[in-house]
Amino acid sequence: MVFKRNILITGGAGFIGSHVVRLFVNKYPDYRIINLDKLTYAGNLANLKDIEDKPNYKFVKADICEYEEMARVMSEYRIDGVIHLAAESHVDRSIKDPFTFARTNVMGTLSLLQAAKVYWESLPEKYEGKLFYHISTDEVYGALELTNPEGIESPFTTKASSGDHHLAFGTEFFLETTKYNPHSPYSASKASSDHFVRAYHDTYGMPTVVTNCSNNYGPYQFPEKLIPLFINNIRHGKPLPVYGKGENVRDWLFVEDHARAIDLIFHKGKVAETYNIGGFNEWKNIDLIRVIIKTVDRLLGNREGTSDHLITYVTDRAGHDLRYAIDSRKLQRELGWEPSLQFEEGIEKTVKWYLENEEWVDNITSGEYEKYYEEMYGER
Ligand code: NAD
Ligand code: TYD
């Protein structure tokens, strides 16, 4: 079969990548989707069981840092679009092991960019009809001030933030024009990769686009990140390690709404532009944790308050960014994107998914991860 487009999605066995791969494979049967992933601890082919036999899906196990391999994949599959998600993504791991983050996030992105450049420049039409889409994070902008620790009515709203809780914890938001000011090795490595992507546009004329999204949550997220870790710990009656006083603020978006934004921007976004993605849905960690506890207890049939005692305040994360809040009005205005799910619905769906997919969680949290977790947090 001749496909209309050949799209390389990197990191497609990870959390967000698996949702993007699923969306593209199902929505575009005339595109061939090549999912390239190294399958690190965070990559899991079980995330894609439902689409693995589709005729327009192909998995390639490879490391984005291997330039020769990336060059081969680009020409063998005649790739005309890249959606680049492969990365080391957990801040706590970056604090322990920054080299791995520089290697994958910086050198890996560079090797992929160079492979795309060499292949596309070898074609008669060169960059026409091509796109290198780089997925980044709001963490590159640094941290916002927490000027209103109790929260004020947010000046902006979306479907995601249209529930009872509609707060902003400061008056500033990250804009596409906000100066980069990363603090963690993770965000520093992502910032560096964003700069390389823009440099390939400015220097070689490669059609690129960069998006910076807020914290994602939903099914298939590795249970070292706050929401799935806490759901899993509540299920096992284990302590919930709250960093510092639990006052840090994050802006949460349901992962499928991020995947929908990626689809829209891949097809309709303007070359060389940056788009911020988020639902104006800020939560103080401790408030969010209380919602998670309440939801898990209710769905497990426990009396309200059963798991409250699991909250355990622990030493704060080094360099812990106080507040993230993304201004996504450009994406809403220019491309008409809007989150599809209210936060309360998203949390309910997510908790249900983790409780119904215990086997998925147990499979990936045994072995290596268990050792890592004990090293990180001690035996609890
Ligand atoms: P994840 O850690 O769940 O998945 C990362 C995937 O990349 C895994 O499948 C892993 O095997 C793969 N990978 C890692 N190193 C690789 C390498 N050297 N070669 C090939 N594959 C490799 O991450 P995620 O949460 O799904 O994030 C995906 C992307 O989105 C990342 O670029 C991240 O920076 C960005 N992002 C994440 C969030 C979030 O809240 N999770 C928010 C905004 C942006
Ligand atoms: P995380 O899910 O690691 O995402 P990020 O650091 O990229 O925002 O953490 C979300 C917030 O939750 C962050 O402020 C750190 C905090 N946190 C805890 O309090 N305890 C935990 O065990 C974890 C993993 C995170």
- In tens, the pLDDT along 213-222 reads 999 999 999 9
Q: Which ligand is nearest to the CA of 238?
A: 2
- Max CA separation in the chain (angstroms): 67
158 lines ligand 1 (CB under 6 A): no
pTM above 0.75, yes or no: yes
| Closest C-alpha residue for ligand 2 atom 4 | 225
Q: How far is residue 78's CA from residue 7's CA, in Å, rounded to a whole number? A: 9
216 lines ligand 1 (CB under 6 A): yes
87 lines ligand 1 (CB under 6 A): yes
pLDDT of residue 371: 67
Q: Are 223 and 236 in contact (CB under 8 A)?
A: no
| Closest C-alpha residue for ligand 2 atom 5 | 91
| Closest C-alpha residue for ligand 1 atom 32 | 85
Residues with CB under 6 A from ligand 2: 91, 215, 225-226, 229, 241-243, 248, 250, 285, 317
Q: How far is residue 355's CA from residue 118's CA, in Å, rounded to a whole number? A: 46
Element (H, E) at 184: none
42 lines ligand 1 (CB under 6 A): yes
Report CA torsion sign: 326, 330, 335, 339. Answer: positive
**pLDDT per residue as tens digits for the range 354-372:** 999 999 999 888 766 666 7
Please identify which residue in the block is written with the tokens 């990365």: 87
- Rounded to an integer, the average pLDDT of 118-131 is 98
Q: Are 330 and 278 in contact (CB under 8 A)?
A: no
Name the β-bridge partners of 6: 32
**pLDDT per residue as tens digits for the range 63-93:** 999 999 999 999 999 999 999 999 999 999 9
Distances (CA, A) of 301 to 234, 304, 306: 13, 9, 10
Three-state secondary structure call for residue 363: helix
pLDDT for residue 380 is more than 60 = no
Closest Cα partner for 138 from 71, 108, 183, 74?
A: 183
pLDDT > 70 in the chain, percent:
97
Q: Are 248 and 316 in contact (CB under 8 A)?
A: no
Q: Are 30 and 3 in contact (CB under 8 A)?
A: yes
| CA-CA-CA-CA dihedral for 81, 34, 211, 134, to nearest 10 | -70
pLDDT of residue 376: 67
Q: How far is residue 220's CA from residue 223's CA, in Å, rounded to a whole number? A: 9
pLDDT for residue 128 is more than 50 = yes
Give 244 Cα–ligand 1 centroid separation in angstroms: 26
Residues in the chain: 380
Closest Cα partner for 89 from 53, 43, 129, 126?
A: 43
**Residues known to be catalytic:** 138-139, 186
| CA-CA-CA-CA dihedral for 100, 103, 105, 109, to nearest 10 | -160
Q: Alpha helices of 77-173 — where are they, by DSSP H?
A: 91-96, 98-101, 109-121
**pLDDT per residue as tens digits for the range 171-202:** 999 999 999 999 999 999 999 999 999 999 99
Atom of ligand 2 nearest to the CA of 249: 14
Give 142 Cα–ligand 2 centroid separation in angstroms: 15
pLDDT of residue 270: 98
Q: Which long-range contacts (CB under 8 A, 24 or more apart) does 116-119 make?
A: 116/74, 116/79, 116/82, 116/206, 117/200, 117/204, 117/206, 118/71, 118/74, 119/71, 119/74, 119/75, 119/79
**In terms of DSSP bridges, do strands 31-37 and 131-137 run parallel, antiparallel, or are they unpaired?**
unpaired
**What single letter denotes the amino acid at residue 228?**
P
Give 43 Cα–ligand 1 centroid separation in angstroms: 8
182 lines ligand 1 (CB under 6 A): no
pLDDT of residue 89: 98
Q: Which ligand is nearest to the CA of 9?
A: 1
How high does pLDDT run on average in the chain? Answer: 96
- Rounded to an integer, the average pLDDT of 8-33 is 98
Q: How far is residue 181's CA from residue 186's CA, in Å, rounded to a whole number? A: 12
**pLDDT per residue as tens digits for the range 237-252:** 999 999 999 999 999 9
- Least confident range from 145-159, 277-291, 334-348: namely 145-159
Pocket test for ligand 2, best of 226, 284, 285, 326 (most atoms within 8 A of CB): 226
- Beta-carbon neighbour count of residue 318 at 10 Å? 11
Q: Are 192 and 113 in contact (CB under 8 A)?
A: no
Q: How far is residue 210's CA from residue 195's CA, in Å, rounded to a whole number? A: 10
pLDDT > 90 in the chain, percent:
92
* Phi and psi torsions of 275, nearest 5°: -125, 130
Give 324 Cα–ligand 2 centroid separation in angstroms: 12
